Amino acid sequence: MARKGDADASLFELGAGPPEKVMIWTEREVLTRQVTQIGRSACGATAVINVLLALGYQPDQAAAAAAVSTRLRREAAPLADYLFSRAEAGCTHKQLIDGVNTLTDGQVCGRFFSMYPRRSFQLVRWLGGWLRRGAVPVATLNPQRGVPPQQTVPDAWHHQMAFGVGPQGVYLTNPLECVSASLLGEQLCSEPVLLVRREDITSRWRDGCALQPLMNAADPRWRRMNVLGQVVTVLREELDAPPPGVRRVLTTHVTVPAWYRSGVTLFLRRSSPHCADLLREPELPRLEDC
* CATH code of the domain containing 152: 3.90.70.30
pLDDT tens digits for 144-168? 999 998 899 999 999 999 999 999 9
In 3-state terms, what secondary structure has residue 247? coil
- For residue 89, count other CB atoms closer than 10 A to its CB: 21
**DSSP per-residue string spanning 64-119:** HHHHHT-B---TTS-HHHHHHHHHH-B--HHHHHHHHHHHTTT-EEEEEEE--S-B
Beta carbons of 268 and 136 less than 8 angstroms apart: yes
Q: What is the mean pLDDT of the chain?
A: 93
pLDDT tens digits for 247-282? 888 999 999 999 999 999 999 999 999 999 999 999
Task: Record the pTM.
Answer: 0.93
Q: How many domains does the chain contain in total?
A: 2
Residues 94 and 147 occupy one common structural domain: yes
Residues 250 and 267 occupy one common structural domain: no
Residues 210 and 90 occupy one common structural domain: no
Q: Which amino acid is at 116?
A: Y
Give the whole-angstrom CA distance, residue 258 versus residue 255.
9
Give the whole-angstrom CA distance, residue 251 versus residue 135.
43
pLDDT at residue 7 tops 70: no
Q: Find the mean pLDDT for residues 191-207.
A: 96
Domain hosting 30: range is 2-192+260-289
Residues 122 and 41 occupy one common structural domain: yes
Give the whole-angstrom CA distance, residue 241 versus residue 230.
18
Residues 187 and 199 occupy one common structural domain: no
Beta carbons of 225 and 257 less than 8 angstroms apart: yes
Q: How many residues does the chain have?
A: 290
Residues 174 and 57 occupy one common structural domain: yes
Residues 61 and 82 occupy one common structural domain: yes
Residues 285 and 170 occupy one common structural domain: yes
